[in-house]
Amino acid sequence: MTWGWVGTRGTWATPRAADSMARMAETGANWTALAYSALQATAFSTEIPFHDEPTATDEEIVWAIREAHGLGLKVCLKPVVNVADGTWRAFIGFFDWDVPDEPSWTEWFASYTAFIVHAARIAQAEGCAMLCIGCEMVRADGQEAHWRTLVAAVRDVYDGLITYNCDKYQEDRVTWWDAVDVISSSGYYPIDAWEAQLDRIAPVVAAAGKPFFFMEAGCPSREGSAQRPNDWQLAGAPSGAEQLRYYAEMFRACRDRDWVQGLMLWDWPAELYDLRDAAANDDYCPYGKPAAAFLREQYVSWAGSTR
């Protein structure tokens, strides 16, 4: 389960955050992605001021790692870049080649590498089992040489597993899977598309010879979300039944494929809503909703599988 997004300074390392993580651990999950974002001003900015507000401080990140480890969870540290003006990070992009006096991929990757390597040092010091070096960077995916250089810089300071979280429908477009240890993607596929999409992804995983899991997957508890699980702004009434229906199909389809080694569900907030408000909550978190019991049953069963 992903915890703590978006890593807003002041919301981690609090009693509420500790209670939230403890309740997340009750789902039966054995891993958590601790996800936090740094903000660049626009999609064309080349500076990522990751030490500045509103990004969680190093002390808060270390607190979250230690809290998760104390609950018996393996940790994937997941630093993510977002755009302050609301543009989706997938649209961050520059000319394919560097042009004098224009913002460039080379400048951006220099700043991004500093951000990711800083996280890698924290992950190494705190014994995180995995580091995610990027999330849904669709326009950046094609910058293969820059990504390979970034991975090498991370390996200089971190000896755990490295993954990259590509966006949905991009699994067969990334050309540098051999550089990382684990392939992962955001599996926000429509409820009736799981079989077809898994059929498409399977040859990619086989060709790469790497482990695979869905770094993000899930569905809001909202009417209509089973067909558009990636649309967190979709209009619809709260519906725990819709989320449960989606979970049931997603787990069925994924557990039938022995190469799918897990689901890092999206997501569990650092400041959790009150249990009494669960039925009215239409977001991704399953806490107090019909999907919660099903999730625990599936995770306990999957973790105990011998495959």
- pLDDT reported for residue 72: 98
Q: How far apart are CA 3 and CA 78, in angstroms?
A: 10
Percent residues over pLDDT 70 in the chain? 99
Model pTM score: 0.97
List C-alpha distances in Å: 273 to 20, 74, 128, 270, 285. Answer: 9, 24, 28, 10, 9
Q: Which are the contacts of 266, defined by CB distance < 8 A and separation ≥ 6?
A: 2, 5, 216, 217, 218, 284
Mean pLDDT, the chain, as a whole number?
Answer: 97
pLDDT band at 305 (very low <50, low <70, confident <90, very high): confident
User: Which DSSP helix (H) or strand (E) runs through 283?
Assistant: none
Residues written for the chain:
307
In this prediction, residues 277-303 reach a mean pLDDT of 96
pLDDT band at 306 (very low <50, low <70, confident <90, very high): very low
Q: How far apart are CA 213 and CA 218, in angstroms?
A: 13
In this prediction, residues 222-237 reach a mean pLDDT of 97
Which of 277, 302, 297 lies closest to 287, judged by CA? 277
27 pLDDT more than 70: yes
Superfamily of domain 2-219+260-271: Glycosidases (3.20.20.80)
- pLDDT reported for residue 303: 86
Q: How far apart are CA 41 and CA 100, in angstroms?
A: 21
DSSP string, 140-158: TTT-HHHHHHHHHHHHTT-
Q: How far apart are CA 215 and CA 186, in angstroms?
A: 6
pLDDT band at 307 (very low <50, low <70, confident <90, very high): very low
Q: Which are the contacts of 150, defined by CB distance < 8 A and separation ≥ 6?
A: 109, 112, 113, 116, 133
139 pLDDT more than 50: yes
**Domain locations along the chain:** 2-219+260-271
Task: Indicate the DSSP class of residue 301.
Answer: H
Instruction: Kindly report, residue by residue over 59-94, the tens digit of the pLDDT.
Output: 999 999 999 999 999 999 999 999 999 999 999 999
Q: How far apart are CA 214 and CA 26, in angstroms?
A: 21
260 pLDDT more than 50: yes
pLDDT band at 25 (very low <50, low <70, confident <90, very high): very high
- pLDDT reported for residue 282: 98
Paired residues of 238 in beta bridges: 222
Structure tokens at 261: 């080694």
> Cα 138 to the chain's mean position, in Å?
14
